[in-house]
Amino acid sequence: MQKINRDHKVRNYHQAKWDEPIIFELHNSGERGITLPQVEEEIVNHVGDGVSAIPVEMVRRKAPKLPEISQNRVLRHYLRLSQETLGAAFNVEIGQGTCTMKYSPKINEAFASSPKMTELHPLQDVSTVQGMLEVMYKLDLCMREISGMDYFSFQPGSGTQSLFTMASIVRAYHEENGEGEQRDEIITTSFSHPSAAATAAVKGYKIITLQPDEDGFPDLEELKAVVSERTAGFVVANPEDTGIYNHRIKEFTKIVHEAGGICYYDQANANGLLGITRAKEAGFDMCFFNLHKTFSTPHACGGPATGALGVLNKLKEFLPGPIVENQDDQYILNDKLKHSIGKVRSFQGVPQTVLRAYAWVRALGAEGLKDVAQIAVLNNNYLYHKILTIRGASAPYIKGKRLEQVRYSWEQLTKETGVTTDDVSRRMADFAHHYWSSHHPFIVPEPFTLEPTESYSKADLDEYIASLTQISNEAYANPEIVKNAPHNSTIHRVDEQDYFENPDKWAITWRMYLKKTKKTQEINS
Amino acid sequence: MNKQNKVAHPYIPNTVPQVQAEMLREIGAQTLDELFDGIPEELHYKKVMNIPKALSEYELRRYMEGILEKNINTKEYLNFLGAGCWNHYVPAVCDEVNQRAEFLTAYAGDPYEDHGRYQALFEYQSLMAELVDMDVVNVPTFDWAQAAATSIRMSSRITGRKEVLLPKTISPDRLKVIKNYCSPDIECILVDYEEDSGQINLKDLEEKLSANTAAVYFENPSYLGFVETQGKKISKLAKSYEAITIVGVDPSSLGVLAPPSQYGADIVCGDLQPLGMHMNFGGGQSGFIATHDDLKIVQEYPSRLFGIAPTVVEGEYGFGDVLYDRTSFAKREKGKESVGTQTALWGITAGVYLSLLGPNGMYELGKSIMQKSQYAMGRLGNIPNVVASRFESTNFKEFVVDFTHTGRTVKEINKFLLDNGIFGGKDLSEEFPELGQCSLFCITEIHSKEDIDRLVSTIQQCLDSIRNEERNGVHAKN
């Protein structure tokens, strides 16, 4: 038998394709997926059928049209759908820049799925949840070391919700100082994340967006021009999604502080900074870390997650409550914060994420955390170096080294071959890779953003590079193969426009699909 | 230990020194430190972080399990707490599906890598749509509170109005989330409830409704467990002012209770946690929003909405984002509110749960909860001086027990229960001081007759102990 030839690094791959129907099509009248606990005879004798107590106007007359399916078939259906999903555990997941798709250690799932975690009710007496509160308290202490902040809340359920919480704190802070009305602007940058601007707008702020200068740095002169007594806050990612660290960040925060604004830090891009540099020294009043990104907890198809929010002492009383504190060697929940914005999420957020993140920090220690940053940056610069050798690819802005990610461009490839970044994205799926273009709007033409993290070996990176190289070669030699991709995926190109933009044709649920199909058939006949 | 002898970290392959050297050579750098030249010297952190040194996997397991051991869970103690997070049975298949590495570690792939994720979420939307009897359901948001807050903001954009009316019986914590999310531009105004029944006071509602009202929000069952039966009247009143009706529901009730669309809801929201999520100390919450298929409503969703479409090959289902340009992903601050990581995995899990239960399972679930909670109310109400339920309405799953006339506070009773291995109901005496010493109990399909009887007899013991103390002339401390 010949060995599998891996000299050619591009993978000979085909994704699972099960032709699995929509779950409603599996309906078989009378089948059951599960039965429920019996209601004891004595109870029935006491209360009868229970439902007769429902006032007539509140009785459900028509049963929901849910499918009836045996357990085995339900399981098989979802296992097949799982096989048609390329989880990060399966691939060299470096194509989703800004999202830090690192390895989520398996051992941490053992903790997260322990009944000592899963079977806790959030309102139990604190004496019975000392373990969980200890985890939250101790992770807080670690986060303080990493950021220089004085206090962390784990209530926000994502980076977006953390940004929203920070915008809420900015508003409460200025209102407390009698400047709520006057300070109605928040300044951000075009390479900070969309949620930074969007969440500040939800809190009623006018958004001012600084554009990059020719090296890719936010423009300091522009900041000076827009900052004023109307400035409520400044929110920025650093490094931004270009992987460029704004070396004048202290000047930025100083200028905003002098104008009376609050500086808050979007640390979604913190993976190259652990143990290297901190939010506090750069002049920030608040920051957040995504535990599902930098701190390794699984992304879970998009949550549940945690955006750990750190503040300096002066803002502690504004945090959403309750917060965990240690009093006489007992962990307590303190809900008596003087200026608290209230709450942003039910209970204490997503504690199982906090548990995993704490385990991850303890598996690395101070030295390991710094290794994370150093290797993430090493991997990125190696990748960067290699990508620039691929025909048609470039990396706008400064030519020097980058931190943990780079926003690249296929501008030249598109000009010369007609192949776009979206085409490349679909073709990458043929080689078992995930590839994301970028946030909108596309400031960099035909962009793609790669973030290799610390989790991937040199061989892994070489495989990703080889796949991109092959696609570039195909674009120049036979662009149709790229434009018509994917070829090896579960499905082929989706007929996008009409079905997702036209109210007569879109179907967001199966019942809507059936209604609209029937209507079309009636019209046609 | 010098760098050459350092053991590679299992999570970081390129901590192997030879590989590092080779990669540095490739990029033309001498040291790792050089890679950070872009960060000004004065911002370099020179100290070593005060974080304990790395643990091996075994050490980590032992350490973490030691901490977790300090928790007492609801398998060890009998639990009657609900109040927004409910103790239901989670079918094994739900856990199997959401622990699959494919789903657990996926994130934001396109339909070409993540066809299965798109299909599973489309199916979740579709199954939930049947349960709530609406045509549109979103990819889940954070929790019920967020779903309600977003429903209110959607209503405000649709109507151009800036007031929302909510019942005074709403969960105070949920109200905190809503208030913060809606401020500064939308005002939350509370509507009184009928003292005896807990039902919304229609007269007060009518007085507070105006041409400024964007929406009327109410819940079924309410936070305090009773069924609000005036849905039709409330939505009719709202409509007479051209306001939108939003109903928050516990989906586990919808096998037996009428879906809000049948009494006039324009937007339905609530929490998916009862549909297959462990309580997770509050980490199982997940919010849903459902509406009719009306362009003027659909375009106001901030969430992702997955739609089904053909592919270029006949006989394939494809999926994608409906009206993507609504979202902040596309339009930043000009999008509708914001979107990002929320609770998609719980959406998939709720889909699995609904597929397993089907229409009959959902009916039986609702029915057994009704039976068991009525039994518990009856037994508790038979204890002298205890009133169960405090409100003269039909209850689902939760109900308020009034201990005011027992001479004991809820705090004292809960302490006694805790000492006897029982988590008693949620103490309402601070949230609703007007109710006196009241407690919110939760009974689901998992509670057996024996469990309920044990609760009743332990409360009886607690109250007997005070009578004994009184008889013996001993005054209880506190």
In a domain, A131, yes or no: yes
A70 and A155 fall within a common domain = no
Beta-carbon contacts of B68 under 8 Å, excluding residues fewer than 6 positions away, are A111, A114, A116, A117, A131, A132
In a domain, A214, yes or no: yes
- Given a contact cutoff of 8 angstroms between Cβ atoms, the answer to whether B405 and B332 are in contact is no
In a domain, A276, yes or no: yes
Burial class (CB in 10 A: 0-12, 13-18, 19+), A265: buried
Burial class (CB in 10 A: 0-12, 13-18, 19+), B185: exposed
CB contact under 8 A, A345 and B177: yes
Beta-carbon contacts of A178 under 8 Å, excluding residues fewer than 6 positions away, are none
pLDDT at A116: 98
A158 and A246 fall within a common domain = yes
Residue of A nearest to B48 (CA): A366
Tell me, what CATH number does A265's domain have? 3.40.640.10
Residue B474: pLDDT above 90? no
> If you search the block for the tokens 């303080």, which residue do you land on?
A144
pLDDT at B473: 65
Choose the closest CB to B14 out of A457, A492, A512: A457
Band (B469; pLDDT cuts 50, 70, 90) = confident
A308 and A221 fall within a common domain = yes
- Min Cα–Cα distance to chain B from A1, Å: 30
Residues of B in contact with A64 (CB under 8 A): 130-131, 133, 254-255, 259, 359, 362
In a domain, A431, yes or no: no
Choose the closest CB to B23 out of A90, A382, A489: A382
Beta strands per DSSP E along B261-361: 267-271, 287-291, 306-310, 317-321
Residues of B in contact with A346 (CB under 8 A): 84-85, 143-145, 173-174, 177, 282, 285
pLDDT tens across B286-299, in order?
Answer: 999 999 999 999 99
**What are A7's strand-pairing partners?**
none
Residue B477: pLDDT above 90? no
pLDDT tens across B385-430, in order?
Answer: 999 999 999 999 999 999 999 999 999 999 999 999 999 999 999 9
DSSP assignment string, B92-107:
HHHHHHHHSHHHHH--
Residues of B in contact with A123 (CB under 8 A): 81, 83, 85, 426
Cβ contacts from A onto B, under 8 A = 714
At residue B185's C-alpha, the angle toward residues B179 and B188, to 5°, is 40
Distance (Å) of CA B123 to CA A511, B97, B138, B222, B297:
10, 14, 11, 28, 21
pLDDT at B242: 98
Residues of B in contact with A426 (CB under 8 A): 110, 112
pLDDT at A259: 98
Number of domains observed in the structure of chain A: 2
- Min Cα–Cα distance to chain B from A79, Å: 7
CB contact under 8 A, A32 and B143: no
pLDDT at A523: 85
Please count the CA atoms within 13 angstroms of the CA of A131 that sit on its side-chain side: 22
A259 and A204 fall within a common domain = yes
Choose the closest CB to B256 out of A31, A51, A361: A51
Residue B1: pLDDT above 50? no
Strands A330-334 and B136-137: unpaired
pLDDT at A7: 80
A44 and A190 fall within a common domain = no
- Min Cα–Cα distance to chain A from B109, Å: 6
pLDDT at B2: 47
- The CATH class for the domain spanning B92-354 reads alpha beta
pLDDT tens across B195-205, in order?
Answer: 999 999 999 99
CB contact under 8 A, A60 and B257: yes
In a domain, A144, yes or no: yes
Rg over CA atoms, chain A:
26
**What are A264's strand-pairing partners?**
A235, A286
Query: Distance between CA B472 and CA B350 in Å, rounded?
Result: 55
How large is the angle between the packed helices B115-132 and B344-381, nearest 10 degrees?
Answer: 30
The structural domains of chain B, with segments of one domain joined by +, span 1-43, 92-354, 366-471
> Phi/psi zone of residue A281: left (φ > 0), alpha (ψ -120 to 50 degrees), beta?
alpha
- Tokens of residue B285, six digits: 């919450």
Long-range contacts of B35-38 (CB under 8 A, 24+ apart): B35/A374, B35/A377, B35/A378, B35/A381, B35/A401, B36/A276, B36/A277, B36/A377, B36/A403, B37/A400, B37/A401, B38/A244, B38/A245, B38/A247, B38/A400, B38/A401, B38/A402, B38/A403
pLDDT at A316: 98
CB contact under 8 A, B99 and A55: no
At residue A160's C-alpha, the angle toward residues A159 and A164, to 5°, is 115
- Given a contact cutoff of 8 angstroms between Cβ atoms, the answer to whether B108 and A302 are in contact is yes
A199 and A68 fall within a common domain = no
User: Which SS3 state, helix, strand or coil, does residue B47 take?
Assistant: coil
CB contact under 8 A, A119 and B279: yes
Cis peptide, bond prior to residue A486, ω within 30 of zero: yes
CB contact under 8 A, A65 and B130: yes
Distance (Å) of CA A266 to CA A159, A180, A464:
8, 23, 28
DSSP assignment string, A411-438:
HHHHHHH---HHHHHHHHHTTT------
A140 and A224 fall within a common domain = yes
Q: Identify the CA nearest to A450 among candidates A468, A432, A423, A472.
A: A468
DSSP assignment string, B112-143:
TTBHHHHHHHHHHHHHHHHHHT-SEEPSPBS-
Amino acid letter, B255: G
pLDDT tens across B222-269, in order?
Answer: 999 999 999 999 999 999 999 999 999 999 999 999 999 999 999 999
Q: Which CATH architecture has domain B366-471?
A: Alpha-Beta Complex (3.90)
- Min Cα–Cα distance to chain B from A301, Å: 4
Check CB contact of A371 with chain B, cutoff 8 Å: yes
- Given a contact cutoff of 8 angstroms between Cβ atoms, the answer to whether A347 and A335 are in contact is no
pLDDT along chain A (525 residues), means of 10: 85 96 98 97 97 96 97 98 97 94 98 98 98 98 98 97 98 97 96 92 96 91 97 97 95 98 97 98 98 97 97 98 96 96 97 98 98 98 98 94 96 98 97 91 93 97 97 98 97 88 96 92 84
- Given a contact cutoff of 8 angstroms between Cβ atoms, the answer to whether B265 and B235 are in contact is yes
Q: How far apart are the first and last CA of chain A?
A: 59
- Given a contact cutoff of 8 angstroms between Cβ atoms, the answer to whether A84 and B120 are in contact is no
> If you search the block for the tokens 């409509």, which residue do you land on?
B239
- Tokens of residue A135, six digits: 């985890």
A190 and A78 fall within a common domain = no
DSSP state of B257: B
In a domain, A77, yes or no: yes
User: Which SS3 state, helix, strand or coil, does residue B404 take?
Assistant: helix
Tell me the whole-structure pTM to 2 decimals.
0.97
CB contact under 8 A, A457 and B345: no
A78 and A207 fall within a common domain = no
> If you search the block for the tokens 């993978």, which residue do you land on?
A11
Q: Which of A85, A132, A431 to mutate to test the interface with B (most CBs of B within 10 A)?
A: A85
Q: Identify the CA nearest to B246 among candidates B219, B221, B267, B271.
A: B267
pLDDT at B93: 98
- Given a contact cutoff of 8 angstroms between Cβ atoms, the answer to whether A203 and A174 are in contact is no
- Tokens of residue A269, six digits: 């891009």
**What's the 3-state SS for A279-311?**
CCCCCCCEEEEECCCCCCCCCCCCCCCCEEEEE
Mean pLDDT, chain B, whole residue set: 95
Domain boundary among A363, A381, A409: A363
CB contact under 8 A, A366 and B49: yes
In a domain, A241, yes or no: yes
Please count the CA atoms within 13 angstroms of the CA of B82 that sit on its side-chain side: 28
- Min Cα–Cα distance to chain A from B38, Å: 6
Dihedral angle computed from the Cα positions of residues A279, A285, A290 and A294, in that order, rounded to the nearest 10 degrees = 10
A63 and A205 fall within a common domain = no
Band (B5; pLDDT cuts 50, 70, 90) = low
DSSP state of A393: -
User: Which SS3 state, helix, strand or coil, does residue B164 take?
Assistant: strand
A356: containing domain: 110-363
Query: How far out from the chain centre does Cα B101 lie?
Result: 24
DSSP state of A262: E
How large is the angle between the packed helices B344-381 and B92-99, nearest 10 degrees?
Answer: 150
Strands B244-249 and B267-271: parallel
Residues of B in contact with A49 (CB under 8 A): 367, 371
Domain boundary among A363, A393, A420: A363
Query: Distance between CA A253 and CA A284 in Å, rounded?
Result: 7
Query: Distance between CA B15 and CA B382 in Å, rounded?
Result: 68
Query: Distance between CA A91 and CA A251 in Å, rounded?
Result: 41
In a domain, A250, yes or no: yes
Residues of B in contact with A47 (CB under 8 A): 371, 374-375, 378
Question: The complex's ipTM?
Answer: 0.97
Q: Which of residues 388-427 of A touch B (CB under 8 A)?
A: 400-403, 425-426
